[in-house]
Structure 1
């Protein structure tokens, strides 16, 4: 692990934990880092909590109005507006394509304050969603916002968010609707379109019919490549949270060093902890741990 990290031309933070054994690998896991689009995972978790509380619904209607689309990742900016979507549509696009326009629609629906309050409530002091994507801030920003951009977190804290989604650990005592909410979120994360980082060397079989054994959310900027995932390993579920920043390689090719570094770290950990590979059948709410 040290060799992989020191050979990278940039900075790396890693937090990995196997949930059934308690095995941990941690390198600079508490260092605040640029999230890029990984911060959208916190929005998904907030939406899950509000759906659970009856304050939001998967099928509620959200309208993309003319002039609201922004550039960057996603497809909504290419479609004609006005366009009616469901909240589930919006969150799905935010997760699987990291759609920036969909993310802004989610922010309009829930607000970044609700997300940040939720992160603070679960004890995550260094996770913060700052503002809309590719839009100027409409309120005063914290002094560190220019350094981090869209959001900040640590490798350990974002692993906590992903683990909560995987374990179906929503606020308060378990309720009958929890499993369905968490299954919907896991389906989104398993359908991640960008697969050049954590899944790159791990998912060697076609998962299009049975579903992926990896549920993840990526984030990329010119000098940033991140991925946070749950991997349904045969030996037990593993949460991987890997961030690279200040990368010398700023290319947007499949050979990008940051993406390759994340992929090699993920492969090294999973092969060590689960030499028999992955099992997508374990990818269900609770991860078989309840």
Structure 2
């Protein structure tokens, strides 16, 4: 048996053990050097939670590529657009700032900012985001516009297979322009500050910088998706771990069983990429 199939078998076995230990339903798709390693219920339509923010960022940057938006376009942060939850914009003591699209993209991807979602809706309404996703051939990855105001939307749904394909195209540079690709991947790879409870938890700093990640959590869902780069900075693995119906829905920290599973899988992924 060659080295790559051995690594693939080992990763598949680790995923199976981690998912069983965490409980819930897992919908996972993982490729290593272009080979499908984990393929578990990848076409189930699930609540996307904050992993959808990568798709939203790509839709905005595609509009920039087409000349319909500029990264310097601004929107006013008003009190009625503030959303609680993840991010930092809602922590301000006063509002009224004018924030650029460039600023909002970083807040959206690196900080998973819920207020940034509402502000981006002022620049690119939900139906136009969905038009972009449909044009890419995605059937189930959609935001959910509010009937009363199409510039407001919920994060909607996705599948593991479609999210994997979006990330694969992003990493290969075939989804956006080089500038747009770099914008998203820089934000996903930034770890100081950035999300490090899951896949990047047990990695030293140099290896953390090689992993582009986005996590999402909503009630009984804990998701983590991303790309692992090899030592030459080439995408080597693309992973999508979506899990719902999990225990401990009120635990949004690193102690959650699914987040612990992501940490074990992250260490295994880097070891597999590096041989």
The alignment's TM-score, normalised by the length of structure 1, stands at: 0.80
Match of 1:261 in 2: 261
Structural mapping, 1:93-172, within 5 Å: 93-131=107-145, 138=148, 150-170=155-175
| Structure 1: runs of 5+ lacking an equivalent | 172-177, 277-290
Match of 2:81 in 1: 68
* 1:43 and 2:53 aligned: no
Asked if the contact 2:109–2:184 (Cα under 8 Å) also holds between the matched residues in 1, the reply is no
Give the whole-Å Cα distance in 2 for the aligned partners of 1:14 and 1:238.
Answer: 13
Asked if the contact 1:96–1:191 (Cα under 8 Å) also holds between the matched residues in 2, the reply is yes
Q: CA deviation at 1:23?
A: 4.0
Q: Residues 257 and 137 of structure 1: is their aligned pair in 2 closer, same or farther, counting only changes over 3 Å? A: farther
Give the whole-Å Cα distance in 2 for the aligned partners of 1:270 and 1:215.
Answer: 12
Taking only aligned residues, the RMSD between alpha carbons, in angstroms, comes to: 2.3
Q: 1:216 aligns with which of 213, 218, 232?
A: 213
Give the whole-Å Cα distance in 2 for the aligned partners of 1:96 and 1:227.
Answer: 13
Q: Residues 137 and 264 of structure 1: is their aligned pair in 2 closer, same or farther, counting only changes over 3 Å? A: farther
Match of 2:186 in 1: 187
Number of residue pairs matched by the alignment: 253
* 1:91 and 2:119 aligned: no
| Structure 2: runs of 5+ lacking an equivalent | 1-14
Q: CA deviation at 1:233?
A: 2.7
Tell me the secondary structure at the aligned position of residue 205 of structure 2.
coil
Q: CA deviation at 1:2?
A: 2.1
Q: CA deviation at 1:186?
A: 1.2
Give the strand-richer structure, 1 or 2. Answer: 2
The alignment's TM-score, normalised by the length of structure 2, stands at: 0.84
Q: CA deviation at 1:139?
A: 6.1
Q: CA deviation at 1:236?
A: 5.2
Match of 1:28 in 2: 41
Tell me the secondary structure at the aligned position of residue 230 of structure 2.
coil
Q: CA deviation at 1:204?
A: 1.6
